Structure 1
Amino acid sequence: MSITAESVWNNCLEFIKDNIQPQAYKTWFEPIKAVKLADSALSIQVPSKFFYEWLEEHYVKILKVSLTKELGENAKLVYIIKMENTYGNKQPFTERIPSSNRSSVKAQDVDIPLNNKNPELRNPFVIPGIRNVKIESQLNPNYSFENFLEGDSNRLARSAGLAVANKPGGTSFNPLLIFGGVGLGKTHLAHAIGVDIKDKYPEKTVLYISAEKFTQQYIDSVKKNNRNDFIHFYQIIDVLIIDDVQFLSGKSGTQDVFFHIFNHLHQNGKQVILTSDKAPVDMQDIEQRLLSRFKWGLSAELQNPDFETRVSILKNKLYRDGVEMPDDIIEFVAKNIKTNVRELEGAIISLIAQSSFNKKEITIDLARQIVEKFVKNTKREVSIDYIQKVVSDYFQMDIDTLQSKTRKRHIVQARQLAMFFAKKFTKASLASIGSQIGKRDHATVLHACKTVDNLSSTDKQFRKYVEDISKKLSV
């Protein structure tokens, strides 16, 4: 059997997969493609310069070991960085970076100072003297990196946020898109990045705004016939943070104006930070040219915190509030509230309030009462694991069978139903759903959802499956 670039890289991936965390493997190695093998040099294609920088900083040792195993001591790795150019043309540009020249590739520093001596600009669309006007950042100083605790569920997003804060506009994290479900800390992290930038670079103009407010401002500017002033205003921002960018869905006029603003900022080395409840691949009714730009930098997912992280979040919250609480009670709350950080902190606040108002000692019994009420009054977010269990039980098969590669019709349909309900009941991205249900890709999940929709409208028996499982998941 002849040795090819693909076979060498696949063998490397097998080794790498056994030695790093699944989430890290999915994020940093699945997008890579093997391109060419010449003598002992393997060329791999990565989607951005950011990928190259991250691999070199965090995974160079494991890459060297795996490649040496396959190609011997003279093994070399060549990176090919392929991305769309800034002007949105279809033809990509390709940059080759041999391993020997690693240190020569540096992100360019861009410094565009603004004079912020004048008082706050009340009407943001008054153009005369605009460069001499102080623009209030709208940031919340209570949201900081110090109280955004790191865990496996948020490490990538937090690390990328710190890198942006240290060098806004000067890294490959541009734009930085932070996405995830409700209450996982997207807004907190976006503010933390902005607050840190203002602290380190007081001369830079930072602006935080929700996509909803941005849209309203644009509509007002059209009504008042000063659309160009609106665009001009946003083009002078050094760091633009837009929260809940999925709100632009279906708003073609706002998307068009944001496209022009984004292009100007990106081409001039300004930093763009976005948050969304969906990954770019899952966003509906957003123009393709915008989605392609969202993918230029890094899309970092915030996931539900694991048990250890939930405990750390609660302890940090109690410490900041100057409250002491026994470890067994903290762990009880962390074990029983798994959905998101907001609900976790809400439960602990309720527990403290009940204890204080009723002059009751904080005990496990009191914690149980609060947690039961809290969970009952909170819409439960069904997990992908739970959905797989319900679907497997319904079709009387085990989860391993559901996730298997078999093409037997009843197993395929069960798997498709699990994917359909995971998309319906969770905030997980299509890629994340596919990864957790048999290591499939996002296209498989999309196909599964369409198949379930089609069969539901044409097959009476299949429609009953959907209704029965839906009832079990909605209880």
Structure 2
Amino acid sequence: MDLDQIWKNTQEELKVILAPAVYQTFVTKTQLISYQSNKAVVACPNSYLVEMNKKRHYDYFKSSLDNQTHQNNTLEFIIQETITLESDGSTSTPLFSTPIHKPVNTGNLHPKYTLENLIVGNSNNFAFAAAQGIIKNPGLLYNPFFIWGGVGVGKTHLMQAIGHELLKQNPQLKIKYFPAETFGNELINSLKSKNIGQFKDKYRNLDCILVDDIQFIAGKEYIQEEFFHTFNALHMAGKQVILTSDRKPSDIDRLEDRLVSRFMGGLTVDIQLPDFEMRLAIIKQKAEEKKVNITPEAASYLADNIVSNIRDIEGKFQEITVQAMASRIGEIDVNFIQSYLSGSSPQNYSSQKNEKINPRHLISICAKHFNIKTGDLCGQSRKKDLVWARHFTAYLLLTEANLPLEEVGRLLGGRDHTSIMHARDKIHQEISTNPQTRSLINQIKDSL
């Protein structure tokens, strides 16, 4: 049974049924990789296509495939990059013929993740400088290049920006970006289909690999084994390897020592949460991209009050933009931002329940959780344990009770607002990089 031909005919039938934009987005990038006992396994390049095809287009796919096979089929959509198969010389007659264009080498890179729109600040300037060195001398200067940091701090953006720059210098360079999960899924499917040789050739003949979230191979012995040999083949040939993770190699549980050693053998850099200046630059960049008018005071106020990762800042600014448009506001000022942050709008990023939290009750809960007296928590002692508990309390008073900096300082013993800002930033940084801190915050929230 010719799977390729069956799927071509199925796609041609879907082309008639679906709108052109829907067909181009959700059908053209799929591939039938297995068909046994009336069950079809269809590969999609990313999770978005998998979910959308399951929820919205399943019946269309099923109907078209049933027509081609004359069977009552079930379909399973999985994440796997589709592989273009070489022609075996046989001819086929699809329902409709379309012109074939030579594909442009994109390396599976997202078009928006470029150096041009990367904001550089104190949190990522070292990583950015290292990236510049790799672009000038790929495979020689920093190899492998390991980038780690919390969620949404720009690891993927920087990694893909390097890929874009390398392709600008040499469009013939064989570059490939992929999540570590994709590597594992393709390895398993190649074993099932007995195409392990093709799988190895696909990855070991590249000039540069960009692997996202490498921590996901931890604890998976065979996948680690295969990635180890792939890494060695590329590294020994002088090819560039770039990896990202949410923690540094030595902190990844159940990652084999030999992989830890190789990952640490090049340059390891971390990217921190953006500071105030970088957050402000991000907000201004997004305002310019979306052609949104925001006063300098409003931008500064927003940057000072959303102390989070880049992705969260972009999401919050998008919410504000939509609300401003819905309210027919031509220019976003400080009053509008304050209204948003206070929770007066339905899309407020803080839960409505937070407004009802009694600050004194929250302080009492924190004191009880850390097994200290409320008076000590709000006192002047600088003992390490008390300072740590005080930082947590300040963070929760800001994020859960929505209190201004000055009020939090007053409640915690008359401290200056800059001390409260430091405590907030410290806990934000810990939440980004330390799973134990995230767990501790969630425990206290549950107590509330």
* 1:265 counterpart SS class: helix
**8 A contact 1:126–1:229 mirrored in 2:** no
Corresponding residue of 1:394: 372
Aligned-residue offset at 1:364? 2.2
Aligned-residue offset at 1:230? 1.1
Corresponding residue of 1:68: none
Residues 48-447 of structure 1: pairs in structure 2 closer than 5 A? 123=83, 136-171=106-141, 173-361=142-330, 362-373=332-343, 374-377=348-351, 394=372, 396=376, 400-402=382-384, 426-428=431-433
Pair 369,316 (structure 1): closer, same or farther in 2 beyond 3 Å: same
**8 A contact 2:294–2:333 mirrored in 1:** no
CA offset digits 1:57-83 (Å, max 9, x no partner): xxxxxxxxxxxxxxxxxxxxxxxxxxx
* 2:188 counterpart SS class: helix
Q: What TM-score results when the alignment is normalised by the length of structure 2?
A: 0.59
Counterpart amino acid of residue 139 in structure 2: G
CA distance in 1, matches of 2:233, 2:194: 21
CA distance in 2, matches of 1:280, 1:126: 38
Counterpart amino acid of residue 219 in structure 2: G
CA distance in 2, matches of 1:302, 1:414: 26
Counterpart amino acid of residue 123 in structure 2: S
CA distance in 2, matches of 1:238, 1:245: 19
Pair 147,424 (structure 1): closer, same or farther in 2 beyond 3 Å: closer
Pair 414,365 (structure 1): closer, same or farther in 2 beyond 3 Å: closer
* 1:427 counterpart SS class: helix
* 2:314 counterpart SS class: helix
Counterpart amino acid of residue 147 in structure 2: I
Aligned-residue offset at 1:320? 2.5
Corresponding residue of 2:444: 471
CA distance in 2, matches of 1:290, 1:275: 14
Counterpart amino acid of residue 340 in structure 2: I
CA distance in 1, matches of 2:313, 2:428: 24
CA offset digits 1:68-118 (Å, max 9, x no partner): xxxxxxxxxxxxxxxxxxxxxxxxxxxxxxxxxxxxxxxxxxxxxxxxxxx
Aligned-residue offset at 1:137? 0.7
CA distance in 1, matches of 2:267, 2:302: 34
Aligned-residue offset at 1:218? 0.6
Aligned-residue offset at 1:298? 1.3
* 2:203 counterpart SS class: helix
CA offset digits 1:425-465 (Å, max 9, x no partner): 723269xxxxxxxxxxxxxxxxxx8xxxxxxxxxxxxxxxx
Aligned-residue offset at 1:286? 1.0
**8 A contact 1:402–1:414 mirrored in 2:** no
**8 A contact 2:295–2:334 mirrored in 1:** no
**8 A contact 1:204–1:238 mirrored in 2:** yes
CA distance in 2, matches of 1:122, 1:239: 19
CA distance in 2, matches of 1:312, 1:202: 31
Structure 2: unaligned runs, 5 residues or longer? 1-80, 89-102, 355-362, 392-425
Aligned-residue offset at 1:249? 1.6
Pair 157,411 (structure 1): closer, same or farther in 2 beyond 3 Å: closer
Pair 151,252 (structure 1): closer, same or farther in 2 beyond 3 Å: same
CA distance in 2, matches of 1:162, 1:315: 24
Aligned-residue offset at 1:212? 1.1
Aligned-residue offset at 1:368? 2.1
* 1:426 counterpart SS class: helix
**8 A contact 2:177–2:210 mirrored in 1:** yes
CA distance in 2, matches of 1:312, 1:281: 33
Counterpart amino acid of residue 315 in structure 1: K
Counterpart amino acid of residue 376 in structure 1: S
Pair 197,255 (structure 1): closer, same or farther in 2 beyond 3 Å: same
CA offset digits 1:245-298 (Å, max 9, x no partner): 111121111110000000011111000011111111210111111111110111
Aligned-residue offset at 1:471? 2.1
Structure 1: unaligned runs, 5 residues or longer? 1-120, 381-385, 404-409, 416-420, 431-448, 450-465
* 1:293 counterpart SS class: helix
Larger radius of gyration: 2
Corresponding residue of 1:458: none
Q: What is the aligned residue count?
A: 299
CA distance in 1, matches of 2:427, 2:326: 41
Pair 474,175 (structure 1): closer, same or farther in 2 beyond 3 Å: farther
Counterpart amino acid of residue 427 in structure 1: S
Corresponding residue of 2:91: none
RMSD: 3.9
Residue identity (%): 31
Counterpart amino acid of residue 205 in structure 1: K
Pair 232,469 (structure 1): closer, same or farther in 2 beyond 3 Å: closer
* 1:216 counterpart SS class: helix
**8 A contact 1:180–1:276 mirrored in 2:** yes
CA distance in 2, matches of 1:135, 1:290: 30
CA distance in 2, matches of 1:209, 1:366: 41
* 1:209 counterpart SS class: strand
Pair 231,468 (structure 1): closer, same or farther in 2 beyond 3 Å: closer
Corresponding residue of 1:40: none
